[in-house]
Amino acid sequence: MSRSTSSSRTLQRRTFRWSSILTLSLLILTVSPPFALPGAEPAQADAHTADDGSEHAAEDLAGTSVDQIERQTAVNADRIVRETGRRPGTAVRSTSAAGVSADPGVSGRWSPVLATDVVPVFEAVLPDGKVLMWDSVGDNAAESYPDQTFTRALVWNPADDTSKRVDVHGYNIFCAGFTHLQNGNVLVAGGNKDTSLAGIVQTHIFDWQTETWSRGPDMAAGRWYPSVAEMANGEATVAGGGPPTDEVYQTNGLIRRLGNAINSTYGGRLYPFMNSRPDTLLGLYGPYDVMNTLVTSGDGAVTGSRARDGAMRDYGSFATYDIGKTLVTGGGNLNEDGLTNVPTRTSVILDTNTGSVPSVTTSGSLNTRRRQFNSTVLADGSVLATGGETSAAVSTLVDLDHAAPAAERWDPATGAWTTLSSASRVRQYHSTATLLPDGRVLTGGGGVCGICVNVGYLEKNVEYFTPPYLYAKDGSDNLASRPVISSAPAGISINTNFALTSPQAATIRKVGLVGLSSVTHDGDTGQRYVPLKFTVSGTTLTVTGPASGGAAPPGYYMLFITDGSGVPSVAKMVQVAKGPTPLMSPVKNSVAARCIDVPQSSLAIRTYVQVYTCNNTKAQALTRFPADSTLRVLGNCLDVPSQHFLSGQRIWTYSCNGSKAQTWTFGTSGTIRPTAATALCLAASGTTNRAPIVLATCNGSSIQRWTW
């Protein structure tokens, strides 16, 4: 079955001008008794801190028909309109926040609200520029407890605002995690099994070219609220959602358990903030204060743990805005600035480019504190915050009287947030936001929870935000003149040059890739901005591909160019190929026919490395890290002890620290030399198992030659 919503709309849309919006307080508990759906429990003061997820699971109304949710929400919404004069979900202010310029070149502009067939709780941008959306069970479900054999889904086309239904049959993938695979398809892991709110073991794959669903392999355990992230080697890691043992979807279409990656912190039913690090490991950054680094090769390992900033940032948000740099902002339910039960305004930057664990620095604070909001990487590498609630005192999920309708933009150059114009609709629990190839941001959703029903909050719609960078800076409503990518390759490679052409080449100041979003519950494991180096000659830009597959896992990206006025082009879709070896792969000695190996897969520093029979285990999964010319394994770096650059010196693993003891030069002849002492070569001291790896005077012998 399919359905289309017609009417083509231009990029420059006029926002609604609401008149006489009343600002009466909506005190939920005094308006009327809350409506209790079967199986749903009353909202608690902070329903999202329990690791088992039972309280927020009940709030999600899993197992309750969307048809029933919609009917009761509409009944309550009509009642609230009669009693307060205000439609639930309408922003308290109209389209501009107090003190914010009405000039769209300064503050941006919001489109009218467009109805959708589903609540956009889950959104994935596809390689053709369309957007996959889904929510939960369908309209034909039973009255109170439907069977969980259906999910409403559609493909939305932002080019003309039409949609096509692509429902899932057989399973409910509500509360699942998802990411893009290297061929552009979407992998969905888990969902809702039954009225007891159990997770499911099934995975599903959405084929973006045929717009059809298929079943993937089953996981070892059911998951509900997991996150999924693609890795440098094309695999996808599934973490959280209940089971503490993480799993990996392999490139051969099978799933393996990471039996030595028992992650008690991030095993809870609360979507982890996570993505691939430049060193090919997986970073887990929140919402918990303890951050983990996950080795995903072989049977896995958890390493490099440290505290982030002392705050539990549940329903905060994050965005990777540069290579190895992630902004974590907002969220939580704490005391701050003399206020109680509020989300934080603070932001921190995590940098994974240098050490074995992320460094943490403080950035500028949001102008409006927020939880239940989205951070979206923009086409120029800045970050947009949209939606959210400013208080958790009434509800940690939805508080329409404490909404944050104004958008904010974070500038990575200054660390400052700037308040922009306000949306017409409140976007809180179960809302989403994603960057489109034309540089706009598509926002939508909100609702489908217990308190949402009580207050009449259900947003089956979307609206677009056009950022200031797309408007002329002349005080008018005119759109800016945009640079144009005349030609670009369909595919690019890691650390390899490619050419693109533009009539405006001489004016271009930035070239960057933006990962395709896979966003739900305020987290987006797909989005990332990857700046690319380039030179200009005439109308041709010679661009160097991403430095590593960890920074840009294989798959489809939006390629933007941005001119000196800060105006981005419309993106070209390009497919980034999987990076070259060594990339979580063996480094083999040609004569010994054995590989560099960490004994017993030890995570401890000062472990001397050896040669051992090649076995494709994590002990031999080395990554050549181009950012600092290190050779990494199990979260540590190969290191010359105390910088003793002497023949015969054994090599051990040590915490990555950027020192010259960890810097290596890789020769075309197969040699690996310490950059600080290029007369020495890495060598196997023998051809038998467990022979130590040492430095030796370079002599051209086979024992000093390696393949990767």
Q: 118 near 165, Cβ under 8 Å?
A: no
Residue with tokens 């974590």: 328
Q: How far is CA 83 from CA 31, 78, 326, 455, in A?
A: 8, 9, 45, 12
Fill in the DSSP letter of residue 439: S
For residues 272 and 313, what is the distance between their CA atoms, to the nearest angstrom? Answer: 11
Amino acid at 128: D
Q: Residue 54: its pLDDT value, please?
A: 60
pLDDT band at 55 (very low <50, low <70, confident <90, very high): low
For residues 348 and 282, what is the distance between their CA atoms, to the nearest angstrom? Answer: 19
The set of residues, in sequence order, having a beta carbon less than 8 Å from that of 458 and lying 6+ positions away, is 69, 70, 73, 74, 77, 89, 119, 446, 447, 448, 452
Residue 251 CA, distance from chain mean position = 20
Q: 188 near 204, Cβ under 8 Å?
A: yes
For residues 650 and 610, what is the distance between their CA atoms, to the nearest angstrom? Answer: 9
Higher pLDDT, 227 or 265: 227
For residues 273 and 447, what is the distance between their CA atoms, to the nearest angstrom? Answer: 22
The set of residues, in sequence order, having a beta carbon less than 8 Å from that of 338 and lying 6+ positions away, is none
* DSSP line for 213-265: EEE-PPPSS-BSSEEEEE-TTS-EEEEESS-SEEEEE-TTS-EEEEEEEE-SG
Q: Residue 314: its pLDDT value, please?
A: 97
For residues 514 and 560, what is the distance between their CA atoms, to the nearest angstrom? Answer: 8
- With residues binned 3-state (H G I as helix, E B as strand, rest as coil), the percentages for the chain, rounded to 5, are 10, 35, 55
Q: Residue 25: its pLDDT value, please?
A: 32
**Quick check: 39 pLDDT over 50?**
no
Q: 129 near 442, Cβ under 8 Å?
A: no
Q: 582 near 548, Cβ under 8 Å?
A: no
Q: 113 near 462, Cβ under 8 Å?
A: yes
For residues 522 and 445, what is the distance between their CA atoms, to the nearest angstrom? Answer: 12
Domain ranges for the chain, please list them.
47-470, 491-576, 583-707
For residues 653 and 662, what is the distance between their CA atoms, to the nearest angstrom? Answer: 9
Range with lowest mean pLDDT among 64-73, 234-243, 659-668: 64-73
**pLDDT digits over 201-243, tens only?**
999 999 999 999 999 999 999 999 999 999 999 999 999 999 9
Average pLDDT of the residues of the chain: 88
* Residues facing 696 on adjacent strands: 681
For residues 651 and 648, what is the distance between their CA atoms, to the nearest angstrom? Answer: 9
The CATH architecture of the domain made up of 47-470 is 7 Propeller (2.130)
Q: What's the rounded mean pLDDT across residues 64-90?
A: 77
For residues 23 and 631, what is the distance between their CA atoms, to the nearest angstrom? Answer: 60
Q: Which fold does the domain 583-707 belong to in CATH?
A: Trefoil (Acidic Fibroblast Growth Factor, subunit A) (2.80.10)
For residues 41 and 627, what is the distance between their CA atoms, to the nearest angstrom? Answer: 50
Q: What's the rounded mean pLDDT across residues 577-597?
A: 90
Angle at 511 between CA 507 and CA 516, to 5 degrees: 140
Q: Residue 52: its pLDDT value, please?
A: 52
Q: 203 near 187, Cβ under 8 Å?
A: yes
The set of residues, in sequence order, having a beta carbon less than 8 Å from that of 210 and lying 6+ positions away, is none
pTM confidence score: 0.90
DSSP-H helix ranges across 85-229: 104-107
* 3-class SS of residue 431: strand
Residue 135 has φ and ψ, to the nearest 5°, of: -130, -90
Q: How far is CA 324 from CA 36, 232, 274, in A?
A: 45, 13, 12
Range with lowest mean pLDDT among 25-29, 446-450, 474-478, 611-615: 25-29
Higher pLDDT, 134 or 20: 134
- Conformation bin of residue 284: beta by default, left when phi > 0, alpha when psi is -120 to 50: beta
List the strands of the sheet with 131-134, edge to edge.
162-165, 153-157, 131-134, 122-125, 518-520, 523-524
First to last CA, the chain: 50
**pLDDT digits over 357-396, tens only?**
999 999 999 999 999 999 999 999 999 999 999 999 999 9
**Quick check: 79 pLDDT over 90?**
no
Q: How far is CA 89 from CA 108, 111, 172, 375, 522, in A?
A: 21, 16, 26, 20, 18
Q: What's the rounded mean pLDDT across residues 625-631?
A: 89
CATH top-level class of 491-576: mainly beta
Q: How far is CA 264 from CA 260, 316, 367, 466, in A?
A: 12, 21, 34, 41
